[in-house]
Amino acid sequence: MENFSLTRSELIQLTEDTFIINFNEWIDFEPTQFIMIETETSIVRKPFGLGRWNEKLAIGVQIIGPGTNYIVQKSVLNAHGPCGKGFVPPEGKGAMIATPACLPMAFDLNKRCNCDVFIGSLEKLSIEIPFPLVIGDESFLNLLRSLEGYDWFLVIGSDQMEKVSYDVLKDKAEVFVSFNEYMACGIGACRGCAKETKNGLKHLCIDGPVLRGEEVWS
């Protein structure tokens, strides 16, 4: 855990509002760990999952407000991390289902773990990606229904996309979900990112971000 500055190497546009940013610096991290990035638009830092792109450290950013817009605009970002518990996949073959903003994480996981990656997007991407891509809600649901023969699933995206995915996949194999909750410190101090689970309250910045879906939704 440390403070650092990251200088942008490339800004790759995926859709109208979604980008991959890769950096000149490298930090060691475990799959699904994240960093907390400072912006001028909020008094708390924002969490972004770490991954890789073109062999560099990378994050994916979907612009949803002034904070994410700031991150896309700036060439130097102050951050701390890596935060969170690294995802340790279970035995067997897995499948990761993610949105375009999670591509760097997906690329990293695909490289390190025995898993296939599937990307669900609402629109076409402006670059070629090395994973199957489906576009639109209906295609995404069909994709989920078609996934068979996996020992585990990992879902990373918006709250709604994660819940839909969990509901379709839960009877096929264990489903892990990278949950989204508002964070302030990212290091376990403030207890702000509490999540109700059937095993009690968990704090996503130290117990997560990945939890078993059935802990939260069963």
Pairing of strands 51-53, 174-178: unpaired
Closest CA to 62 of 32, 93, 19, 92: 19
Nearest-Å Rg of the Cα atoms of the chain is 16
Q: List the structure tokens of 80.
A: 């701390």
Contact between 52 and other proteins per CB under 8 A: no
Q: How far is the CB of 163 from other proteins (least distance, A)?
A: 16
Residues 195-214 that bind other proteins (CB under 8 A): 195-196, 201
Choose which of 1, 16, 124, 171 interacts with other proteins (CB under 8 A): 1
Residues 179-198 that bind other proteins (CB under 8 A): 181-185, 187-196
- Output 13 or 41, the one with its CB closest to other proteins: 41
Q: List the structure tokens of 7.
A: 């200088």
- Output 58 or 204, the one with its CB closest to other proteins: 204
Q: How far is the CB of 204 from other proteins (least distance, A)?
A: 10
- Output 116 or 181, the one with its CB closest to other proteins: 181
Peptide bond into 209 cis (omega under 30): yes
Percentages (nearest 5) of helix, strand, coil residues in the chain: 25, 35, 40
Q: List the structure tokens of 69.
A: 């817009």
Q: How far is the CB of 183 from other proteins (least distance, A)?
A: 8
Choose which of 3, 7, 75, 218 interacts with other proteins (CB under 8 A): 3
Positive or negative, the Cα torsion across 202, 204, 205, 208? Answer: positive
Q: How far is the CB of 127 from other proteins (least distance, A)?
A: 33
Residues 77-136 that bind other proteins (CB under 8 A): 78, 80
Residue 206 to residue 144: CA distance in whole angstroms: 29
* Burial call 154-179: b when 16+ CB within 10 Å, e when fewer: bbbbeeebbbbbbebbeebbbbbbbb
* Burial call 78-100: b when 16+ CB within 10 Å, e when fewer: ebbbbbbbebebeeeebbbbbbb
- Output 8 or 80, the one with its CB closest to other proteins: 80
- Output 42 or 142, the one with its CB closest to other proteins: 42
Q: How far is the CB of 9 from other proteins (least distance, A)?
A: 23
- Output 34 or 53, the one with its CB closest to other proteins: 34
Choose which of 21, 22, 45, 174 interacts with other proteins (CB under 8 A): 45
- Give contact residues for other proteins (rule: CB under 8 A): 1-3, 38, 40-45, 78, 80, 181-185, 187-196, 201
